[in-house]
């Protein structure tokens, strides 16, 4: 999507008119440049109550000499939030069809600046499809060109709205990348294929350094969690380290992603229904890569680190078994009770490596970790655990600002005790029972957060379980289907304040 903001009264293509619920005529100031016949039609429809402008509603007007219009309901003005207005913007893109064309003019009048910015952001985020593998028929005359959006508003708001739109486009490039990676089929996106994309990304940008720890190196470094999960696949595991602005001083924010490019469950095989969706089990790494892209595109100048722990969890004669004991990069041993609790194993190495080698100011990991989190929170929110109240609150606030809810969950000592209660190893990779599974998984990860140098206090750390929000979230109006790119925007906002 291309977005330009100005005060030009001309209507380019289809007029898009955002309206508050109860509007009985076009808003004052929005009539300029609208052909008389089209204005008359709009006013007649609004006066008659044929379009009430309820939140989530849309109506297309066509057939008059004055051109076409798309009316978009904003809902009640006194109940408007950034997210409700963002969803109204997404409704614009979702409603566009062949009749509207690819050129639109959005006329704002009387809206607050942050509401206009959220509306445009929603339009941009919804402008996504994954059709890389779809063939186009010879007689298909659909227009594949970009949407050209002209935005008009009051003169004193133009500069800020254009800056907001440019930032939304930059951050959305990271969201799109995360969605592309999440949606990619696992026969094409395996651990080293992900690494190759990361290397290409590093080569494209002078302020990006990408380092790969390959399978052989992981073995020699003692990364038993990563190696154990990935050794059963012909496509071996790896770890990818992104450094944005590597020459800038630290300590720096560090984002760590679980990257299981396909998860069969290993020897503890998953049931067949919906196993195809296990290509999404790398969305933590997809988000991590997406955050790196968003930071580069938006011109962030400080040092930020991303670490992705990539593996394919497959059953084979040399796969990890239930009952195995592995030694992780931290030196701690883990009793593997279930090979389908594999994400926490690859993260154990990624978290310890990040904490001991990359000079973090804080560590945030993202993982499609547990079905228990989906049971608890559905598809409406990611679970959020942290050893630091300030970090937890900042992530929660950033998520609320972006409409990506991260809901605080408990990290009780009892959960840690349960996960360190193995009879033959330091830690067990599965809780003692079925209860509180997402909490015990977080408690497992906490065992692999190093202390701050020279202290007995852990590095600030937070864990986001995105199992319910990475895909399948039907109430997420920012996309049609598939991978969501969840928390790219949250983390960009957290890191940059933008």
Among 102, 270, 321, 327, which one carries the catalytic annotation?
A: 270
Structure-block tokens of residue 369:
């970790």
* C-alpha separations of 199 from 179, 289, 471 in Å: 19, 11, 26
Structure-block tokens of residue 230:
């990935």
C-alpha torsion angle, residues 80, 81, 84, 86 (rounded to 10): 120
Segment (H or E) for 193? helix 191-204
Active site residue 132: no
Q: Are 280 and 130 in contact (CB under 8 A)?
A: no
Among 39, 279, 344, 489, which one carries the catalytic annotation?
A: 344
Active site residue 428: no
Q: Report helix, strand or coil for 279.
A: helix
Q: Are 370 and 441 in contact (CB under 8 A)?
A: yes
Q: Exposure string (b/e) for 405-444, b if CB count within 10 Å is 16 or more?
A: bbebbebeeebbebbeebeebbbbbbbeeeebbbbbbbbb
* C-alpha separations of 494 from 365, 396, 485 in Å: 14, 10, 16
Q: Are 483 and 471 in contact (CB under 8 A)?
A: yes
Structure-block tokens of residue 471:
């895909």
As beta bridge partners, residue 465 has 367, 383
Strand boundaries in 314-418, DSSP class E: 325-327, 333-335, 360-367, 382-386, 406-408
Q: Which of 459, 489, 461 is nearest to 256 (CA)?
A: 461
Q: Which residues participate in catalysis according to the annotation?
A: 270, 344
């Amino acid at each position: 999507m291309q977005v330009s903001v100005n005060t030009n009264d001309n209507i380019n293509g289809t007029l898009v008119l955002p309206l508050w619920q109860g509007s009985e005529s076009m808003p004052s100031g929005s009539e300029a440049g609208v052909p008389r016949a089209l204005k008359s039609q709009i006013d007649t429809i609004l006066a008659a109550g044929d379009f009430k402008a309820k939140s989530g509603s849309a109506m297309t007007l066509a057939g008059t000499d004055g051109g076409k219009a798309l009316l978009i309901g904003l809902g009640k003005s006194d109940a408007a939030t950034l997210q409700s207005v963002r969803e109204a913007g997404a409704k614009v893109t979702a409603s566009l069809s062949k009749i509207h064309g690819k050129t639109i003019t959005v006329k704002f009048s009387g809206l607050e600046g942050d509401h206009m910015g959220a509306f445009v952001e929603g339009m941009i985020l919804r402008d996504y499809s994954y059709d890389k593998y779809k063939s186009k028929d010879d007689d298909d005359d659909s227009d594949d060109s970009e949407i050209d959006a002209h935005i008009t508003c009051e003169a004193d708001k133009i500069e800020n709205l254009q800056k907001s739109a440019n930032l939304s486009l930059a951050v959305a490039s990271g969201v799109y990348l995360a969605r592309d990676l999440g949606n990619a089929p696992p026969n094409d996106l395996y651990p080293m294929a992900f690494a190759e994309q990361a290397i290409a990304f590093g080569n494209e940008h002078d302020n990006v350094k990408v380092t790969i720890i390959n399978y052989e190196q992981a073995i020699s470094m003692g990364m038993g969690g990563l190696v154990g999960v990935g050794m059963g696949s012909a496509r071996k595991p790896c770890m990818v380290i992104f450094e944005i602005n590597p020459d800038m001083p630290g300590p720096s924010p560090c984002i760590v992603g679980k990257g299981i490019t396909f998860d069969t469950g290993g020897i503890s095989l998953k049931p067949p229904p919906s196993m195809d969706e296990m290509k999404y089990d790398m969305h933590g790494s997809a988000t991590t890569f997406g955050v790196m892209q968003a930071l580069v595109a938006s011109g962030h100048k400080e040092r930020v680190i991303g670490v992705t722990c990539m593996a394919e969890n497959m059953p084979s004669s040399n796969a990890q078994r239930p009952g195995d004991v592995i030694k992780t990069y931290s030196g701690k041993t883990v009793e593997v009770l279930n090979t389908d609790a594999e994400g926490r194993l690859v993260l154990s190495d990624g978290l310890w490596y990040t904490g001991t080698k990359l000079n973090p100011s804080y560590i945030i990991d993202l993982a499609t970790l547990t079905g228990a989190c989906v049971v608890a929170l559905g598809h409406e929110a990611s679970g959020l655990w942290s050893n630091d109240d300030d970090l937890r609150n900042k992530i929660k606030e950033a998520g609320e600002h972006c409409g990506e809810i991260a809901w605080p969950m408990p990290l009780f000592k009892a959960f840690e005790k349960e996960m360190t209660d193995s009879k033959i190893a330091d830690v067990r990779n599965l809780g003692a029972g079925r209860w509180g599974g997402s909490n015990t998984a977080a408690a497992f990860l906490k065992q692999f957060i190093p202390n701050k140098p020279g202290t007995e206090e852990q590095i600030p750390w937070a864990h986001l379980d995105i199992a319910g929000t990475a895909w399948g979230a039907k109430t997420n109006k920012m996309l049609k289907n598939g991978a969501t790119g969840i928390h790219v925007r949250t983390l960009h906002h957290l890191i940059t304040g933008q």
